[in-house]
Amino acid sequence: MAMVAGIALIALTSCGQTEGQPTSDAGTGSNRPGNGEPASAEASANSKFGEAFTFRNNLAVSVSLPEPYTPSSSAAGGESADQFVVFTVTVVNGSTENYDPAMFTADLQSGNREADKVYDSANGIGAPTTVVLPGRESEFRLAFAVTDPEDLVLQVSPGFDYRDAIFTS
C-alpha cells in the first residue's frame, strides 16, 4: 500500500512540470499593458476592461473600465492606500442551470503588487448572494486599493467549476 501511495505521489508531483535549470536571476517582466505578445492561444483569450468573457456553459462575465473611487468612512480594506478603483461586474446567466454567485472571486494586481479588496456596504460594494436564474443577469461593484490605477490585471472566477478569466487595460 505504501509503495502504491509513493508511486501516486511521484506521478502527481511530476505532472505538468517543465524541466529546467536553476538560475541566479529570474529576469524581469513588463507589467505594462500591451507590451509583448501573448505566450499562447490561451493567453490571448484574455479580455479587456469593458468586454465580456463567456464560459463554455454560456455564463458570461463582463467588467467595466475602472473608475476612481472614494471609500466611505465605514469601508474596510486599503486603509493606508490613497488610490482606489471600482469596477462594475455583470454576470449574465446564458446557461440552462441556476448560477450561485456565492463562490465568485476576484483578485487584482496593480503594477507588480496585489491590490487590497475594499468592502464598503455603505457604497454598495460587494458581490451578490442571490441565485441568478437562466436568462437573467446580476450586476454588482467591486473596489480595490491600488498602487497604479493605469496598470491593472483583474482575475475573476465564477466558482470552482470555472477557469479564471483575466481582464486588463
Domain ranges of the chain: 44-168
Report, as an integer, the average pLDDT of 125-151: 95
pTM over 0.85: no
C-alpha 82/C-alpha 62 separation (Å) is: 27
Q: Which of 43-47, 66-70, 109-113, 119-123 has the lowest mean pLDDT?
A: 43-47
What pLDDT digit, counting tens, does each position of 63-99 carry? 999 999 999 999 999 998 999 999 999 999 999 999 9
Which strands make up the sheet holding 105-110, listed edge to edge? 47-48, 165-168, 152-157, 105-110, 113-114
Cα distances (angstroms) measured from residue 14 to each of 2, 5, 10, 18: 18, 14, 6, 9
What pLDDT digit, counting tens, does each position of 33-50 carry? 454 444 443 434 689 999
What pLDDT digit, counting tens, does each position of 139-158 carry? 999 999 999 999 999 999 99
Asked: is 44-168 a CATH 2.60.40.1240 domain? The reply is yes
